[in-house]
Structure 1
């Protein structure tokens, strides 16, 4: 299994995509962290107090995880392309010939994407924490006022790995890579927010449906402050958000692996 995982990681590293994605996720983390660190600590001209309210821990947590919205879209893309490129270029047959036990080959992809997701998560945190902590320190705010921030940072790594698995499932269930990318990214970036906004006007849906959407579950895992506010339903707890996102990843990746293990690829 170790050799299969190494092979999958090597497939990513032999393309230009790996460093372009790494650069993108690093810059997104750094830029969003710097922006939110300034916005959350800028003084209100009328009072001289910070314009944004919240504890130091809430501010720091929001700053460090601000770029995850871009990060999970990039990991979704990687997950789709990790399998979609093989269907597109007809190399999936060679993969299954090199590892005749299909389930082993597919589980290798799953585990490799977990490693890749965590790796890119570390790159994202390197950008966001370095820039965010610097700006917060300059603004007189303790960069790490609470140990719960470390939990959120660890959960952000898990979230990115799970989004990569969601992408894998989408890439298998929709074998056309371009279509899979359009459906996956379009749903996560455009459709889900619009549907969530529409459902927010219905009390029942706002209370019992919207908070279980993948992006809402992700925010609940790492930064519940961003999904709470006047007129909004109580967000999931961090552990419930983690379980919800894990369920999406398990179902989509599981269905994808099951299909790929049985379908004819010749």
Structure 2
């Protein structure tokens, strides 16, 4: 297994995909955190004075002391996490498109060993992506958010851990989708359209027309975003489907959306649900590749 992992690392480093996707991941994480930091820095204007004052009162803080930096961090990290998903697609689907999968399978004891080696290798890549994305989102947050609105040290460490967990699971999710689809182009286009367009439309329509607040907390993109975003939602007392006696439902959902996690139950629940999605596609991809013709 050690030799297979070394081979996977060398194989990945010999391509341009790891740094080609790292660059936009860093840029988008930085720019989105920068933009949202400028917006949420004045939460009073963003939510409306009465809602912002009510929220500050419930949390027992002054209006200017709300941890708005968590909201900027979440949006920066969440948009950056899209790129580890695409990077994961290249792990197996990319080998089929480049016709190197035959060598990979024939030089391993069995296909399960080859796929396991990929899994362990890309877990490492997911950690690398997570550290860098969180670092640049944090830099943008520090540059735009007033000091009173910055997260505490504990919250920042929580975001770092959640960000690494999110990018790691995102990479494995991409591997699974690519393995099932067996096409880099098809999997990338489908994932991008679903995660950035279709799912967001479904979440907005379900809330606006039917009053369903929890849909984003169970769909793939929503749960991936919720791993980090729910930390911000929880800091504002807006985690979960409902908080009786605290926030009204509309304000709660708006705060969840502002935190990048509409419908999120909690960060750990989001992680567990997204892990289930990851395992669904990963096991499906593993099963499909046990019988797939490589000649």
- For residue 209 of structure 1, report the CA deviation from its aligned partner: 3.6
Q: 2 CA distance for matches of 1:166 and 1:221?
A: 14
Deviation of 1:242 after TM superposition, in Å, equals 0.8
- Name 2:229's counterpart in structure 1: 223
Q: 1:153 aligns with which of 160, 185, 204?
A: 160
Give the corresponding residue for 2:2.
Answer: 2
Moved segments of 4+, more than 4 Å: 42-45, 51-57, 225-229
How many residues matched? 258
How far apart, CA to CA, are the structure 1 residues paired with 2:173 and 2:158? Answer: 22
Distance across 2 between alignment mates of 1:127 and 1:76: 18
1:110 corresponds to 2:139: no
Aligned partner of 1:162 in structure 2 is: 169
CA–CA distance in 1 between the matches of 2:43 and 2:221? 31
Corresponding residue number in structure 2 for 1:202: 210
2:214/2:264 contact within 8 Å kept: no
Equivalent residue, structure 2, for 1:130? 139
Report whether the alignment pairs 1:94 with 2:103.
Answer: yes
Report the TM-score when normalising by structure 1.
0.86
Question: Paired residue for 2:220?
Answer: 214
- Does the 8 Å contact 1:159/1:218 carry over to 2? yes
Stretch of structure 1 that moved more, 110-119 or 194-203: 194-203
Structure 1: gaps of 5 or more residues:
none
Residue aligning to 2:148: 141
Structure-2 change in CA distance of 1:180 and 1:98 (3 Å): same
**Which residue in the other structure is 1:75 paired with?**
84
Quick one: structure 1 residues 57 and 223, their matched pair in 2 at CA, closer, same or farther if it must change by over 3 Å?
farther
CA distance in 2, matches of 1:76, 1:230: 31
Residue 172, structure 1, aligned to residue 186, structure 2 = no
Structure 2: gaps of 5 or more residues:
240-248, 254-261
Select which of 284, 287, 290 maps to 1:255. 284
RMSD of aligned alpha carbons: 2.6
